[in-house]
Structure 1
Amino acid sequence: MRYPVQQRFDLQKLPSLRRSIIIVNVGLVLLATLSVGLVSLHLLNRQASAHALQVVELSGTMARDAVGRMRDELLSSAVILRDRPTLARLLRERNVRELNPFLEQFRLGGSLDSVLVVRDGNLVSVTGEDLTGLVNLDAIDKSRPGALWLLGDPEGDTQLIAVAIAPLPDALVQESGFVLVGRRLSAHFLNQLGAETGAAVSVLPRRGLEQAPVASLEREVLYTEQAVVRALPDQQRYGAAMPLREGERMIAAVMTYLPAVAFERNRQRLLQRWLSTGLGLALIAVLMGFLIGRRLGRPIRALIASAQRMSREDFSTPVPVARDRELSILSSTMDDMRRRVLALTAALRQREAQAQLLLANIVEGVFAVDSQRRLVFLNPQAARMLDVEVDHAIGRFCGEVLKPRREQGRLPCDHDCPIVRARSGQSTQSQETLRCAAGQRSVIIHSAPPAGGQQVQILRDETDTEAGRRLRDAVIANVSHEFKTPLAAQTAAIELLSAGMDQLSADERMELIHSMSRSTVRLNQLIDNLLESVRIDAREDKLELQFLKIDELVDEALAVLHPLLLQKNQTFVTHIEPDLPEFKGDPRRLIQVLVNLVSNAIKYAPENSRIQLQIDRLGRAVRLLLSDEGPGLDPGQTRHIFDRFYRAPGLSAGQAGMGLGLWIVRSIIERHGGRIEADSPAEGGTRFRIFLPLKGAES
């Protein structure tokens, strides 16, 4: 149903929002002004950073040149000392007593850290620090003046030493000799250099650079061996690294640093001015915003209040009409929507009441889950079927509420969930056994594909009358079929004996008698299995326990099965561990276990084959291992072989039984406190393993 939009005022006479838009444009102008200021500040920052990098680079270059000049000055000092006449006189006179004061005076006057004289391979005199241990004299060309850098003590305050060598004149030596002067790059020297350049100066040898962090300025100059200049924001300073070379090889780096504070002052002043201007403009913008908000806020707040009422499902109050043209159109549209939603809500509530009535009166249980398989709906029938309260079940995982029976130790929710299978787009159906408070309940679950973020499932209870009727029909059909075969064989044998008693030979008559015996054995086994099945269903399966010997049970079972073995010319081999203790058990039912298992092996094993039964003791249990040479089990059969009425697929009518034998075997074994397993070994055939506890056995 459509509702016409009702307009309470003439829209053409209503004022427009043009004036409001003009006011907003004024605010945009202010915003543009602020944007220009921000861009200007950004450009100034870039220019200031570039200037700071130029200054620190210049300081680094000056510091490196000063360090290089120190080595050149040191070489000049070495040559001057060598050419001093006093040195030549003292060396000719071998006057060591006056030579030492002379060298000490020269060292102090030249601000040197070490002066030494070597003649003909002998250290004549040394003043200050002895550098002979740091200098590889054999690797230095001592035939001409030269200077080089040495690595000092890495633990001290000086890690680099400059030395200069000047050879002595030939007239003063027989073989060779030289003068060596040295000076450390001390902290005092670097401080003086920093005062000259206006920056903090340090010198790091290669080993110092290698110990620096990976992304540091020191590591970068080590890797590139080129001058590196950059800002160090985390340290609030700018740095320059200038390589110091010995020939072509970089041996150290001159590091200079300038604090960023000096370059921040100009930016701070400009920032203060910009902030003052921005604050004034902001006050103006606030005032304008207040006026605009006062102009537009009142009708908008009224519309917001109407929208909030509708969100609370209050559709009875009309939406007020605004004075501006555009807001008036919006309010009229909202009021039209309110009336439409009001009508739709009434229709939905009526349909919901009908659906609730339907779900409350149907026989089947209905529940719905979300994408995480959590219950979002549960009708009363499903709640009664599952023995739960609706409020307690909503929001819980469906597997926790339904409690399906485990298969092979796993829940169907984890590996074969019908709800998950239905998400492929088609409805699914599965039969599950649920564990309820009143006992197990067999149900059929119909799962629909997801719709609207939910999935609906229908539960049909199969536990009571209908399930019993179908089970009764299936049992009657199976029993009728199973009884016909041995009865027909007996009837045929009796007719042949009656009609041809005089004409048949003794062997032929004996063969007919064996046939009747085999049919009788088969009928007895069918009757025993049916009676035991009825006892299990009626819970009249109490065991009659007494002390037993396992070999006696085997003999009685073989006596019953002997005609069946003769029919297929099969060999039955037993291996029984001697001196097995007696144990408590129900002899009739354990003989029934052996008869069912061995007859099963006779049925499926080929003619002229062997059936083996091995019995031994395993801890506190008796183990029976029965194996045949039949076709074996498929991997998918092992989980169903002990199920009630299960018959292996692909069998002929003569091979297939009622599907009760192995189910009864498992029931009897479990009631004795034991367990049974089945598999097919690699060499073929089928193997059953039975473990019976020796509880109550006499040692």
Structure 2
Amino acid sequence: MQLRPKIRLPTLLIGVNLAVLIIAIVGIATVAIGLLLELGDDQGLARVRQGVAIAQNDVQRSGNEVLTTAQLLAERPTLARLLQTNDQVALEDFLGQFQATSELAGCAIYQDGQLLIAVGTEIPAMPALDNRALLLDGALLGLAARVPLATDPSVIVAVWIELDQQYQAELSTILSLPVAIVPQQRLTNPNDPLTETQAAALTTNTITDSYLRDQHHYIASAPLLASTGQPIGVVSVTLPDTQIRNSAQRLSEVLLTIALVGGVLAFGLNLLVGRYVGWPLRRLTMAAAQIGRGDLTTPVAPAKGVEVGMLAGTLEDMRQRLRGLTADLQRQQAEANAILAGIVEGVFTVDRDRRIRYLNQQAASMLGIAPEQAIGRFCGDVLQPQLVDGVRPCEQACPIIHARFRGQAQATEHLQLLDGRRRTVIITSAGDVEQNHVQVMRDETDIETSRRLRDTILATISHEFRTPLSAQLASLELLLDQLPQLSTAQIRQLIVSLQRGALRLTYLIDNLLESARIEAGQLTIRRSEIALDGVVEAAVELMLPLIEQRRQQVEVDLPYPLPNVAGDATRLTQVFVNLLANASKFSPPDTTIAIGGEVTSEHLLVWVEDEGPGMPPSPSESPFRLFVRGRNEPEQSGAGLGLWIVQSIIERHNGRIHVPARSLGTRIVIELPRGTDEDFSR
């Protein structure tokens, strides 16, 4: 049962977009307001830090002014004259007038360390330093300076001012910020945030600032140092946070208003976009459902809009690719079926339980069973492998089981078919593919027969070597034991026997080596202009001792003149040696072996004819195949190499060999092309 969605895609898009928009607006507004407040705090702290630095510099400037005032007073001629006349009343009036005009808190004159006269506030205690502005400690902080009189250094002029409320008010007017100068003795409340900030400036000897949130003030404090370098007070500048907080609040209200208006507009746009996108998406959903049901013939209609249009185009491309892939898969499956039907090997697949799931026609033919009769059956019941020690190999030596752990396994099985025939096969089992195993079965019955024939041939060759070697060994032992008693004729007879044995071994070894070269593809032909009658004569001379042993004769009747041919004299001599040996072996004693020939316009024919029983016609077995021996093999059995070597050499000379049908005897005809000047010049 197909569940219908409860929420439509346009509604979901609108809801998701609105949720994202609201979250974004709230997040941006929160971050923006926080940043505005943080920026306002930084601005407020920067203003008070700048103000306290200016106030600190102004205190230093005031100290320099006090020093300048003291120097002016010390340089006044009137002061020097009044001191000489010792007129106390006039001197006091002069100092009072100077104090008023210079806006000093007080001034005094010392002579030899003793106070002569003073006007203004109480004289503060000043260190004995001259020509320097000093910051004085006390209930009120003040600035003072002592300068010696130019005409009488024993007379010291001292002036001072107090950093009182008036001074602080003037600084506040200059900075447009409240300024307070506080002595160290008044910083006694550690729980007061204001006092804590001022005390921190004294402790660190640097400018400190802080935002007093509970008191709604920004404050910055700078230390004021005495002449000894010790801090004795602080100058503080404060700023109410009302102005900065009000500006941040107005910006926040504007930001929230913009966000609200943007949210309303976004809701309207989302509603329109949802309706615009929804219908094309529903059409694409229907098209995707058709493709999912296997309908690859109906094209996907194009859609409006860039993204939806791209989606429709992509879906159409996917449909076309799926259609092409489906066609390719069908074609590949047809090709695989054709390959499985055309290969020589039998192929079958089994499942996890080794039950046959597929069997091609070649495997069915090998097993002598119809494919439908094998499907679903246990593979061992179909193949019927030969028992090993009374146990079927399926239980212990199954290649399918081994392939599950090794990835691939191979085994040679001897099968017992339903019709009683036996068949030798090599089964190669591939690894596990989705719990299925593919088996390739190659018929080795003919190869097994060839192996048995090879073993027989090897036994025959061993016998062929042993017979002449035994004869040679007997002749040698006889010569060794009875040489003084033997006559010349007897010695000659033994040596001729040794020669025949050596010739027979040489003939057999040459055939074995030549067959190995042919099998390895290393048989080379060194062509030159040769006289074929000379080749025949050399072959007859080589084989004459063996032929005479059987009391046989060789008659050579070749056309004269015999044209030359382009070929390898050594290989062609070997051809006629094999033909003469074959004719001598199959002919009875006291018979004649004839060598004849014929010349045509394009070819040169030479044949070797014997008086043996002849070759019976056999359409299924050619006498020129490897290891093929005659059915009427005499006691000097051969290895089945001679005629095969002859055919290989003649074919490499662009010739051919054949055996005409005869009622008595055997004639083997060799046909070679006549040599041309071009052949001889190569």
Do both proteins adopt the same fold according to a TM-score greater than 0.5, normalized to the shorter chain? no
TM-score range with shorter-chain normalisation? 0.3 to 0.5
TM-score (norm 1): 0.35
TM-score (norm 2): 0.36
* Structure with larger Rg: 2
